[in-house]
Amino acid sequence: MLSTYVYPHFDYLTPAELHGGARRRHPVIVVGAGPVGLATAIDLAQQGMPVLLLDDDASVSVGSRGVCYAKRTLEVLDRLGVGDRCFAKGVSWNVGRTFFREHEVYNFQLLSQPDHKRPGMINLQQYYLEEFLVRRAQELPGIDLRWQNRVVGVQQEGQDGEGGVTLQVETPDGVYALACDWLIVADGARSSIRRMLKLEVEGKVFMDRFLIADVVMKADFPAERWFWFDPPFHPGQSVLLHRQADNVWRIDFQLGWQADPDEEQKPEKVMPRIKAMLGEDREFELEWVSVYTFQCRRMSSFRQQRVLFVGDAAHQVSPFGARGANSGIQDADNLVWKLKLVIDGQAPDSLLDSYGEEREFAADENLLNSTRSSDFISPKSKTSLSFRNAVLTLARKYPFARALVNSGRLSVPAFLCGSSLNTHDGEAFNGQMWPGAAMDDAPIREQGRDGWLLDAVGEHFMLLCSVDDPAAVNASTMAVFSALAAAPVPVEAVLLASGGGAAGAGLRVFEDCRGRYAERYDARPGTVYLLRPDQHIAARWRRLDAAAVAAALTRAIGKH
Ligand SMILES: Cc1cc2nc3c(=O)[nH]c(=O)nc-3n(C[C@H](O)[C@H](O)[C@H](O)COP(=O)(O)OP(=O)(O)OC[C@H]3O[C@@H](n4cnc5c(N)ncnc54)[C@H](O)[C@@H]3O)c2cc1C
């Protein structure tokens, strides 16, 4: 098989502990350098937290796994310093088309509005995503990334884990021990640490098999997601087509539960399937073939005292909807600022319970959507199949039926509206920027330079205050801003104005140059938004009230 990608090999170095180095206790150890562990370690290091990252392998993910990375994930990757690389290498798309037999029955647009920095989705092979993250991790002095370091033992120490966590780690040079205050587990769906700690993961296995064929070909199909139900070239089953980087096209063929996975991967079985789809004359080469099944399940609690589970180790979904790595990277985004505040003694330990609360909620939403998609794609009974086909037939003509077509509801961030960290609205607002929502992007201009709102906020608490004239902010408001900046958990106040302008006392001013901020946030002069470090809304008001901001901040850091 042809491979256009050259897998990097990352060097193993004998750990200092194995040649007599002093054993010290690490504040944080992350296990697993997949996309989620890497994102977590980078975020920690960017926030000034030293981190030890262990992985049992010496390269990136082999073969074809994750493809689609959603807008929200790209925004997190921007904050982690790899958004541009992923965007430049990936294939951007916003349109998805669904076909039933010979006909298109439905299409959707992921981003209905212009003026967002990132597209609805990009397609990028997972090995590229991981390689870009590894390169970024290597740039950061705070990360000690150790390859071929497999965790083989784990214990929580002391009552309630108060004594931290100890690990036994196996390397080519032998086994050594490590100790840490906090352990973040990102060791994937088969998490050996979850097993070692005797923790359960609950859910179900889907009785279906899918063939992945990655083919290299030059084709002028548009950069769109195409999904077929019961196409003439693969009757009775479904097929999904995605274009990835380097002219690699990913095709997922549904096979049914009875299919023999070993037989199905043989070229003599795979090639006719692809030729039936692409036509006999199309030139292509196979890059990768595999057969997968999937599970939809999660741990009941992502926090286990001083052990925090993220990504596939905590939850797994079907690939339809692209919610695996996307949601895992959003776990990291949610966890790291909280852990940093707790380690720095600025927030109570209970803030970490809100990591579980918020991301278990998000996982349930992902599981629900992913299970519904799987049920629509693989009907479990003749009745369900008849219903599914009736919906697809009606969808060609009738808009009401299109809403029922489900070839995978694609990853969007969860609205954490029920979170205990939110302060509920006391005034009326239009739109969707409710407390708990992940922020919408908007074009802004700062000091004459065009930019994006989401590139300008995050990693610490911020207060966005809409004003008419930045130069006219009065002394009492300035005093509130100064007090917030000097608070134990500092809050940076920034002014937003439709016409821009300069403010006193070194305050930043964002010009809402195309009016999108006002529109998306239903903001008018006086409106104030309190933002969390992970770009979620904590609270909002129609006028600045120092006591209300202080109370909302207290709540947002888990002090109730
Ligand atoms: C067919 C398919 C299609 C998919 N499509 C998408 C998609 O389009 N979009 C999307 O977002 N997601 C998709 N996913 C899901 C995505 O691949 C996973 O969600 C993602 O890889 C999870 O990342 P992770 O870092 O949690 O775990 P992993 O990627 O599994 O990484 C775990 C890491 O931990 C290491 N490790 C394991 N055990 C140990 C140990 N004991 N000690 C040290 N290191 C250890 C492993 O070597 C590995 O590097 C797809 C998955 C499949 C199978």
Instruction: Note whether residue 113 is domain-resident.
Output: no
Q: Are residues 357 and 457 in the same domain?
A: no
Any atom of ligand 1 within 6 Å of the Cβ of 171: no
How many structural domains does the chain have? 2
Burial 76-114 (b: 16+ CB within 10 A, else e): bbbbbbbbebbbebbbebbbbbbbbeeeebbebebeeee
Residues 80 and 173 in one domain: yes
Is the minimum distance from the CB of 129 to ligand 1 under 6 angstroms?
A: no
* Neighbour tally for 524: CB within 10 Å: 11
Q: Helix 126-139 crosses helix 35-46 at what angle (to 10 degrees)?
A: 30
Predicted pLDDT of residue 3: 60
Is the same domain home to 338 and 480? no
Task: Report pLDDT for 88.
Answer: 98
Compute the distance between CA of residue 164 and CA of residue 172 in angstroms, rounded to an integer. 26
Alpha carbon separation from 257 to 190, 236, 273, 353 (Å, rounded):
22, 13, 17, 39
Residue 123 Cα: closest atom of ligand 1: 8
What's the CATH number where 516 sits? 3.40.30.120
Identify residue 146 by its one-letter amino acid code.
Answer: R
Do 451 and 358 belong to one domain? Answer: no
Q: Indicate if ligand 1 lies below 6 Å from the C-beta of 54.
A: yes
Q: Tell which of 315, 334, 362 closes a domain.
A: 362
In the prediction, which pLDDT does 205 show?
Answer: 86
Supply the pLDDT for residue 132: 98
Q: Ligand 1 atom closest to Cα of 152? A: 41
C-alpha closest to that of 24 among 178, 208, 134: 178
Residue closest to 335 by CA, chosen among 10, 552, 28, 64: 28
pLDDT at res. 401: 93
Q: Are 192 and 317 found together in one domain?
A: yes
- Give the residue numbers spanning the domain of 529: 443-556
Does the residue 354 lie in any domain? yes
Among protein residues, the one with the nearest Cα to ligand 1's atom 9 is 322
pLDDT at res. 2: 54
Ligand 1 mean position, distance from CA 51 (Å): 20
Give the model's pLDDT for residue 219.
87
**Whole-model pTM over 0.85:** yes
Read off the CATH number of the domain in which 149 is found: 3.50.50.60
Any domain includes 106: no
272 located within any domain: no
Residues 358 and 447 in one domain: no
Ligand 1 atom nearest 325 alpha carbon? 11
Query: How many C-beta neighbours within 10 Å does residue 499 have?
Result: 11
Residue 52's φ and ψ, nearest 5 degrees, are -105, 125
Cα 72 to ligand 1 centroid, rounded to whole Å: 19
Domain-embedded: residue 165: yes
Ligand 1 touching residue 214 (CB < 6 A) = no
Q: Are residues 349 and 461 in the same domain?
A: no
Asked if 41 and 133 sit in the same domain, the reply is yes
Question: Residue 543's pLDDT is what?
Answer: 97
Q: Which atom of ligand 1 is nearest to the CA of 328?
A: 26
- The answer to whether the CB of 289 is under 6 A from ligand 1 is no
- Note whether residue 11 is domain-resident: no
The answer on 356 and 453 residing in a single domain is no
Same domain, 192 and 83: yes
Give me ligand 1 centre to Cα 457, in Å. Answer: 29
Within a domain: 247: no
Q: What is the DSSP letter of 245?
A: G
- Same domain flag for 358 and 489: no
Q: What are phi and psi of 50, to 5 degrees?
A: -65, 140
Domain boundary among 326, 342, 362: 362
Please give the pLDDT value at position 61.
96
Q: Could you tell me if the CB of 322 is within 6 A of ligand 1?
A: yes
In a domain, 306, yes or no: yes
Q: Output the tens digit of pLDDT for each of the chain's 560 residues.
A: 556 799 999 999 999 999 887 788 999 999 999 999 999 999 999 999 999 999 999 999 999 999 999 999 999 999 999 999 999 999 999 999 999 999 999 899 998 789 999 999 999 999 999 999 999 999 999 999 999 999 999 999 998 778 999 999 999 999 999 999 999 999 999 999 999 999 999 998 888 999 999 999 988 899 999 999 999 999 999 999 999 999 999 999 999 999 999 999 999 999 999 999 999 999 999 999 999 999 899 999 999 999 999 999 999 998 888 899 999 999 999 999 999 999 999 999 999 999 999 999 999 999 999 889 888 998 989 999 999 999 999 999 999 999 899 888 888 899 999 999 999 999 999 999 999 999 999 999 999 999 999 999 998 999 999 999 999 999 999 999 999 999 999 999 999 999 877 877 789 999 999 999 999 999 999 999 999 999 999 999 999 999 999 999 999 999 97
Residue where one domain finishes, among candidates 362, 387, 405: 362
Give residues with Cβ within 8 angstroms of 472, minimum separation 6: none
Residue 348 sits in the same domain as residue 469: no
